[in-house]
């Protein structure tokens, strides 16, 4: 592990990474210019919105709304990951389980989750637990399905090999099935992470009692325009942060995979 250097590290990397931001800067400039021509009360400029966002992030909103949202997202995502991976491994490994659960899973994951928010409100009330429960009902599916597909498509030679070396039951799952399916599991986790964020926002808007989604929709209803734009920017930053942290973690855990997949179609 130590001896292998990533082939594309070097002075070029920094340039490439910074170049990656060009599109974002471009969008900001367009926004700024457009704001000049449009009614400022409903469309504040980019700089105004960024300042509003910074203001939010350093005010009491940080503790009352931003951090709770982060906490709910992470918790919901984590619960989904635990349930999704365990159920997915079982469904993927045993064809019987796949056949029995197929239709039910297909139906449940087709359910547009926001419709569940009113039900969750009736069951849990207007609070963070409701938000977490709603996140789980949505984020679990990409994880479960990717895990099941990853598990069921493990090469039979690989399973044979594991069996010849005496791996059975739990150690077979932990040492062969999970690692072999991990690239697909991680792809599912990444989708689930953005799903968690999406659902967190809508659940909070509809009855979170607090949180960034709650803040944004309140700001809109009380005509705090700058506040709602600032909130959206904070959400964007949150999404970017989650995604970046996730990719770092994935890169670390799947480092063995670097040379095995050239194209990404089979990732």
With CB under 8 A as the contact rule, the residue among 64, 240, 245, 249 that binds other proteins is 240
Q: Is 30 helix (H, G, I), strand (E, B) or coil?
A: helix
**Residue placing its CB nearer to other proteins in the complex, 16 or 55:** 16
Report residue 171 as tokens: 């150690």
Question: CB of 82: closest distance to other proteins in angstroms?
Answer: 20
With CB under 8 A as the contact rule, the residue among 99, 174, 209, 249 that binds other proteins is 99
How many residues sit close enough to other proteins to count as binding (CB under 8 A)? 107
Distances (CA, A) of 229 to 121, 213, 239: 27, 12, 15
**For residues 29 and 23, what is the distance between their CA atoms, to the nearest angstrom?**
10
**Is 142 a residue that touches other proteins (CB under 8 A)?**
yes
User: How long a stretch of residues is the chain?
Assistant: 267
Q: Give the list of residues 6+ apart from residue 164 with CB closer than 8 angstroms, or none.
A: none
Count other C-beta atoms under 10 Å from residue 98's C-beta. Answer: 16
Residues 34-73 interacting with other proteins (rule: CB under 8 A): 42-43
**Is 16 a residue that touches other proteins (CB under 8 A)?**
yes
With CB under 8 A as the contact rule, the residue among 35, 51, 79, 202 that binds other proteins is 202
**Is 236 a residue that touches other proteins (CB under 8 A)?**
yes
Residues 160-179 interacting with other proteins (rule: CB under 8 A): 160-161, 163-166, 176, 179
Count other C-beta atoms under 10 Å from residue 28's C-beta. Answer: 16
Report residue 106 as tokens: 């297909």
Question: CB of 117: closest distance to other proteins in angstroms?
Answer: 7
């Amino acid at each position: 592990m130590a001896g292998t250097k990533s082939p594309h590290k070097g002075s070029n990397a920094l340039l490439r990474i910074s170049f990656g931001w060009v599109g974002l800067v471009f969008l900001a400039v367009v926004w700024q210019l457009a704001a000049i021509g449009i009614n400022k009360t409903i469309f504040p400029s980019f700089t105004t919105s960024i300042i509003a966002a910074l203001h939010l992030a350093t005010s009491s909103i940080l503790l009352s709304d931003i951090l709770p949202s982060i906490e709910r997202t992470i918790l919901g995502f984590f619960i989904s990951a635990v349930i999704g991976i365990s159920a997915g491994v079982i469904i993927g490994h045993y064809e019987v389980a796949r056949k029995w659960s197929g239709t039910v899973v297909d139906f449940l994951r087709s359910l547009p989750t926001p419709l569940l928010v009113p039900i969750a409100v009736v069951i849990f009330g207007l609070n963070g637990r409701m938000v977490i429960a709603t996140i789980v009902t949505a984020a679990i599916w990409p994880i479960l399905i990717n895990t099941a597909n990853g598990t069921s498509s493990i090469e039979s030679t690989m399973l044979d090999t594991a069996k010849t070396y005496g791996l059975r039951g739990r150690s077979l799952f932990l040492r062969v099935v999970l690692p072999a399916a991990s690239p697909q599991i991680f792809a599912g986790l990444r989708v689930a992470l953005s799903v968690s964020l999406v659902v967190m926002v809508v659940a909070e808007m509809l009855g979170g009692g607090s949180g960034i989604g709650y803040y944004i929709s309140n700001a809109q209803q009380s005509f705090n325009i700058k506040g709602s734009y600032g909130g959206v920017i904070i959400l964007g930053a949150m999404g970017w942060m989650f995604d970046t942290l996730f990719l770092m973690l994935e890169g670390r855990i799947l480092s063995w995979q670097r040379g095995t997949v050239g194209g990404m179609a089979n990732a």
